[in-house]
A and B are shown apart, each in its own frame.
Chain A
Amino acid sequence: MDRDNSALIRRYNSNIRLSGRFFIFFGLWSVIRTIIMFTMNSNIKSAAFADAEIDEGDELLFSVILIIVFAVIFMFIMGFHLFVGICAIRYSRGKSKNPVFLILAAINIVIVLICLPLNLDTTYYGIASVVASTVVDLTMVFLLFDMIWSAIKVRRLNRAAKE
């Protein structure tokens, strides 16, 4: 295999590895972010309680249910991010050839793009926070797209090299 092709494969594998690593960080950050917002933004806290139309005596029960629900959601989110991230890292190192993580990445792209307009609500967050969130979401889309694209390119280059 010539040097240029080796360099390209190295570049794309590096992209996949970085994308995998930061997909895990983005997942962790989204969990931490949500926890911080709920505990330190009184507007959101009051809105959640108001929306649920909770009586004064049931606040504790509601809080516990909320915590359990969020814990399950967070575990799912982290599990998903970890799975895709670790698979990508292993793929980039040649330790795995299973492309299932790419399908999950593609699904994630679609979900993020669909949910993007829902995040443009400035009722509880300032404009800066909304803009930053949008930037994060778009960056995550870019990251996942980069992961998928790089994986396709690596596969093509490796196939061409074998021929």
Chain B
Amino acid sequence: MHRIKEIISGLFMILGAAIMISDPQYGYMFVILVLALLLIVLGIKRLFYYFTMARFMVDGKESLYKGVLLLDFGALTGSLTDVPQFYVLAYLIAIHAFTGLVEILRAREARSQGAKMWRMKMLHGIIDLVMAVICIIFINEESIAVLIYGIGLIYSAIIKISMAFRKTKFVYIQ
């Protein structure tokens, strides 16, 4: 199930990138739509979590209120008709920069613990960060920034899909 989710989300990312590169106007609308749907789904998930689990927990009502706010944020995002492209691009760049930074920090921690996977993590993090920085440099030339961002999105999607095909060790207990 997890594997299917990762592959589908990777394919969506490639689709989004292709739309953005071929027609930036539609690309931005696509991004807003995806963002709105994501927030609505997150809101509904949080509400479901509240009613099935968190309401039995100390301070569990927090989940209820957060879920409602997320839901409203998602619905609001979906109703927006006039978002300057600059804002959307800046938002996407911020997310990639943050992800890249976290990945680099985790790679450093992995390296200090002697893990072998740290090089891959570091590479992903650096690529994410470099993409974000290049987009910031070209932010006023939106077509270039969109192209760079689209390429970065395709790269991330390929990595996501290839990781989904990683073998999972199922431990069978007798």
Contacts and interface: CB of A to CB of B under 8 A. Distances in A.
Contacts of B61: 15, 18, 146
A132 B65 contact: no
A146 B59 CA distance: 13
Given A22-B65, A40-B81, A14 B58 contact: yes
Contacts of A33: 72, 76
A41 B79 contact: yes
Interface residues of B, number: 22
A131 interface: yes
A40 B69 contact: no
B133 interface: no
**Which of B73, B79, B81 has the most A CB atoms < 10 Å from its CB?**
B79
Interface stretch (A47-55, A122-130, A155-163): A122-130
A104 interface: no
Interface stretch (A68-76, A81-89, A108-116, A133-141): A133-141
A136 B68 contact: yes
- Main SS of chain A's interface residues? helix
B71 interface: yes
Contacts of A132: 71-72, 74-76
Contact of A41 (B73, B81, B84): B81
B64 interface: yes
B109 interface: no
B79 A135 contact: no
B62 interface: yes
B51 to A, nearest CB: 13
A157 B167 CA distance: 58
B80 interface: yes
Interface string B66-96: 0011011111101111111000000000000
Interface of A: 14-15, 18, 22, 25-26, 29, 33, 36-37, 39-43, 45, 125-126, 128-129, 131-133, 135-136, 139, 143, 146
Interface of B: 40, 58-59, 61-62, 64-65, 68-69, 71-76, 78-84
